[in-house]
């Protein structure tokens, strides 16, 4: 769990005291923990206890009434790698199911992009009530993971189902979830991303509109699947993803040099950069001055990095390319697949709305060596990254 960011949401149930042990399990395992409590939860366990154990301030309110400090109602949901709501009362489960956003825990839940786990805890009749059962089942159908309540003696003195699962069981469910999804654990991945800049003089260059978003989304997805990821990145203005090595380069020649250095030890290489095919034959060392004459820049071809790596690719190494085409798309992409000795090529057509440079979305087709073509819908670049990684894993299993 090292480095994993866990938000623990505590709602108002007597089992809240057990969540102290849950927080300790995550901290012992190297996770970073932030705790959200509802007002009712504070009646059962103090924020001081939870802040001390989690090593972070506990958040309850949208703002601090004493100094007006504002707690963003969405930040934690976006920060988390997992959100664990334990104990989850009947009231909170109902609000989660119906999207009610009347406290910080619920607004964080509604903005969370990560897997959500919940551990119901309540009296047996409340637990068995069809309304509660429907809420639990709806949340499971939404993709959330329920660590179901245990049977035993309840706080009311009654005996039955409704007792929150033990902290260790909740912790192990979250841990197993991450472990199971570490399908690229032990694999080294190299990704090229962004444009290249080819210098004309100290202040001018030949470049292109690549934003690097697709390459960085691929890197993030590989990291989430447990791979050790290196991006060789042209100049982009996206923030560097945590837990990924980013090597900044400018020109096609620098990108080639770094790729040749890292490629021999990588298992999977994804060539996503929009590399310049031509570079000025000479870069002036001083700024070129304006004259009345026409201006010509002599260009010489750059090396095709993907093709160079394709030549030295060994058994067991995988090389994936991209093709951005405006016409004769499939024919051109199929040609590049062979020429560069790729395992498959991801085709973007500039004729598709929302695909290609600069967008947050992409629409791809994947062309395989056996002439098979898979077409995908328009999706966010994060979802496209998942589709591409799924195809890589399918080929690796063959
Ligand atoms: N590529 C590369 N080095 C280059 C040019 C391209 O590694 N000098 C890689 C790209 O990262 C991409 C694939 O090759 O994965 C195809 O790039 P693309 O620009 O579509 O193809 P080119 O081979 O450059 O052909 P053209 O520009 O003529 O379409």
Q: What is the pLDDT of residues 198-227, one digit of tens each?
A: 999 999 999 999 999 999 999 999 998 999
Residues 228 and 356 in one domain: yes
Residues β-bridged to residue 151: 161
Residues 176 and 192 in one domain: no
The CATH number of the domain holding residue 220 is 3.40.50.10300
Q: How confident is the model at residue 398 (pLDDT cuts 50, 70, 90)?
A: confident
Residues 67 and 171 in one domain: yes
* Domain final position from 151, 180, 209: 180
Residue-wise DSSP of 136-152: HHHHHHTT-EE-PPEEE
If you take atom 16 of ligand 1, which residue's CA is the nearest one?
323
Q: Return the pLDDT at 67.
A: 65
Per-residue pLDDT tens over the stretch 146-178: 999 998 888 878 888 899 999 999 999 999 888
Q: Which of 190, 226, 187 is nearest to 396 (CA)?
A: 187
Residues 135 and 234 in one domain: no
Distance CA 254, CA 260 (A): 10
Residues 135 and 92 in one domain: yes
Residues 107 and 174 in one domain: yes
Q: Are 188 and 266 in contact (CB under 8 A)?
A: yes
Residues 142 and 271 in one domain: no
| 130 belongs to a structural domain | yes
Q: How confident is the model at residue 71 (pLDDT cuts 50, 70, 90)?
A: low
| 215 belongs to a structural domain | yes
Spell out the long-range contacts of 48-55 with Cβ–Cβ below 8 A and sequence spacing 24 or more: 49/20, 50/10, 50/19, 50/20, 50/23, 53/20, 53/23, 53/24, 53/27, 54/8, 54/23, 54/27, 55/27
Domain count of the fold of the chain: 2
For residue 94, what is the enclosing H or E element?
A: helix 90-98
| 285 belongs to a structural domain | no
Residues 29 and 160 in one domain: yes
| 287 belongs to a structural domain | no
332 is catalytic: no
Structural domain boundaries, residue 56: 5-180
* Domain final position from 180, 206, 227: 180
Residues whose beta carbon lies within 6 Å of some atom of ligand 1: 192, 252, 271, 273, 275, 277, 302, 304-306, 321-324, 336, 340
| Burial annotation 75-100 (CB, 10 A radius, 16+ → b, else e) | ebbebbbbbbbbbbbbbbbbbbbeee
Q: Measure 253 CA to ligand 1 centroid, in angstroms.
A: 14
What mean pLDDT, rounded, does the chain reach?
93
| 282 belongs to a structural domain | no
Distance CA 287, CA 309 (A): 35
* Domain final position from 135, 152, 180: 180
> Token pair 């590049």 is at which residue?
336
CB count, 10 Å around CB of 279? 23
Per-residue pLDDT tens over the stretch 84-135: 999 999 999 999 999 999 999 999 999 998 999 999 999 999 999 999 999 9
> Token pair 């700024």 is at which residue?
287
Q: Measure 275 CA to ligand 1 centroid, in angstroms.
A: 6
Residues 300 and 371 in one domain: yes
| 283 belongs to a structural domain | no
Q: Measure 52 CA to ligand 1 centroid, in angstroms.
A: 53
Atom of ligand 1 nearest to the CA of 302: 8
Identify the active-site residue in 56, 71, 172, 208.
Answer: 208
Q: Measure 274 CA to ligand 1 centroid, in angstroms.
A: 7
What is the pTM (predicted TM-score) of this model?
A: 0.71
The CATH number of the domain holding residue 170 is 3.40.50.1950
What is the DSSP secondary structure assignment for residue 63, as one 8-state letter? B
């Amino acid at each position: 769990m090292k480095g994993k960011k866990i938000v623990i949401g505590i709602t108002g149930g007597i089992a809240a005291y057990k969540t102290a042990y849950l927080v300790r399990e995550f901290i012992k395992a190297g996770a970073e923990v932030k705790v959200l409590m509802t007002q009712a939860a504070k009646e059962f366990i103090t924020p001081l206890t939870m802040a001390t154990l989690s090593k972070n301030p506990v958040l309850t309110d949208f703002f601090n009434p004493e100094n007006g400090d504002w707690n963003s109602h969405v930040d934690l949901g976006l920060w988390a790698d997992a959100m664990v709501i334990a104990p989850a009362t009947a009231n909170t489960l109902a609000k989660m199911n119906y999207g009610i956003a009347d406290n910080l825990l619920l607004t964080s839940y509604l903005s969370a992009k990560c897997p959500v786990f919940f551990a119901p805890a309540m009296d047996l009749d409340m637990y068995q009530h069809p309304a509660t059962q429907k809420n639990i089942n709806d949340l499971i159908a939404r993709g959330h993971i329920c660590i179901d309540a245990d049977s035993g003696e309840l706080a009311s003195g009654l005996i039955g189902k409704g007792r929150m699962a033990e902290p260790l069981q909740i912790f192990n469910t979250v841990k197993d979830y991450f472990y199971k999804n570490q399908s690229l654990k032990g694999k080294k991945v190299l990704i090229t991303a962004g444009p290249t800049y080819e210098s004309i003089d100290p202040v001018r260059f030949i470049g292109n509109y690549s934003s690097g978003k697709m390459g960085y989304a691929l890197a993030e997805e590989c990291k989430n699947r447990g791979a050790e990821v290196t991006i060789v990145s042209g100049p982009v203005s996206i923030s560097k993803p945590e837990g990924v090595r980013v090597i900044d380069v400018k020109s096609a020649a620098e990108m080639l040099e770094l790729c040749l250095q890292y490629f021999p030890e990588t298992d999977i290489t994804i060539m996503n950069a929009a590399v310049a095919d031509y570079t000025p034959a000479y870069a002036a060392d001083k700024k070129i001055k304006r004259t009345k004459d026409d201006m010509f820049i002599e260009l010489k071809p750059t090396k095709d990095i993907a093709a160079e790596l394709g030549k030295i690719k060994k058994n067991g190494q995988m090389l994936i390319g991209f093709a951005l085409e405006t016409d004769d798309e499939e024919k051109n992409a199929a040609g590049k697949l062979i020429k560069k000795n790729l395992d498959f090529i991801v085709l973007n057509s500039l004729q598709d709305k929302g695909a290609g440079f600069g967008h947050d979305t992409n629409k791809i087709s994947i062309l395989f060596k056996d002439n098979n073509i898979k077409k995908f819908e328009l999706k966010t670049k994060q979802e496209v990254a998942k589709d591409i990684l799924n195809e890589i894993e399918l080929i690796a299993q063959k």
